């Protein structure tokens, strides 16, 4: 996509256990449209220390960090932005002359989407998950004024810790709870996974909710979102999350904020 790469081309990348094409297509489309001498490539690695050392040593400008590296990367960077420090989870590394600063643009995306979709702040909610992304989502909910929440996680240690730190309750399963908002922050429903066809919550819990929110971006219409739409619920998709967080990463890497039209075109291109 970059028509004239040269020795000064700045490389950006993503690091994930299961790389996808959305970020690659999104960033490269904007680089081309805006005439920027950048290129973006998705990577996977089992050597996290080596990968982050490579970012520093090779002068890679930016790196998007996905599951399961969002917490493990923290000790490998030089500085944490407030967005990452507050929730001890990162999804973005910016390299400035060998100095690695980490951010969390997931948090920013969640914050914006709750406002955009006008989710009532008095909504009760259940959040399924306890990893790095769950921390970002739960923290954005707390900071957004959503006080009545339940963390649902099979990992009792991580689930209890997340709930305790943010002032929520914890349960291993949803049980009889039927909250007004359901938030999936697990790989359930993700294309290519063992539970790609599964619902992240019980069907009757989805039917009883007002809002369903799935951070899984591939596919854009997960089983949870499909059922939520069919039942006329307010839905927030993982595609919306990944698009906004990618936009904020783009701004951090390049210092340029695209127009809304440019952003929407990049999202449409990335989805193809």
The set of catalytic residues is 70
HSE of 19, CA atoms in CB hemisphere, 13 A: 16
Neighbours of 248 (CB within 10 A): 21
For residues 228 and 214, give the distance between their C-alpha atoms in angstroms, rounded to a whole number: 10
Q: Which residue, among 235, 210, 240, has the nearest Cα to 224 in the 3D structure?
A: 235
State which H helix or E strand residue 184 sits in: strand 181-184
**Before 21, cis peptide (omega within 30)?**
no
Q: Give how far the C-alpha of residue 232 lies from the chain's centroid of Cα atoms, to the nearest Å.
A: 25
Residue 200: strand pairing partners: none
The sign of the CA dihedral 53, 54, 57, 60 is negative
């Amino acid at each position: 996509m970059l028509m004239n790469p040269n020795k000064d081309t700045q490389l950006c990348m993503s690091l994930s256990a299961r790389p996808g094409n959305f970020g690659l297509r999104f960033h490269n489309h904007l680089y081309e449209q805006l005439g920027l001498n950048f290129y973006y490539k998705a990577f996977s690695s089992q050597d996290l220390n080596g990968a982050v050392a490579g970012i520093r040593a090779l002068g890679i400008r930016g790196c998007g960090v996905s599951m399961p590296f969002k917490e493990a990367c923290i000790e490998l960077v030089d500085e944490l932005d407030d967005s990452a420090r507050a929730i001890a989870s990162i999804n973005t590394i910016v390299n400035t002359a060998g100095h690695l600063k980490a951010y969390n643009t997931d948090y920013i995306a969640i914050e914006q989407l709750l406002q955009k979709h006008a989710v009532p702040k008095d909504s009760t909610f259940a959040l399924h998950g306890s990893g790095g992304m769950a921390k970002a989502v739960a923290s954005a909910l707390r900071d957004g004024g959503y006080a009545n929440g339940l963390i649902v996680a099979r990992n009792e240690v991580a689930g209890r810790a997340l709930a305790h730190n943010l002032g929520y309750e914890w349960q291993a399963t949803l049980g009889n709870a039927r909250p007004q908002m359901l938030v999936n922050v697990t790989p359930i429903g993700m294309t290519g996974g063992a539970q790609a066809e599964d619902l992240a919550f019980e069907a009757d819990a989805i039917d009883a909710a007002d809002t369903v929110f799935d951070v899984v971006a591939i596919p854009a219409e997960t089983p949870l979102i499909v059922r939520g739409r069919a039942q006329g619920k307010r839905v927030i998709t993982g595609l919306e999350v990944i698009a906004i967080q990618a936009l904020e990463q783009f701004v951090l890497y390049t210092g340029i904020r695209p127009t809304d039209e440019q952003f929407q075109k990049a999202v449409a291109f990335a989805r193809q």
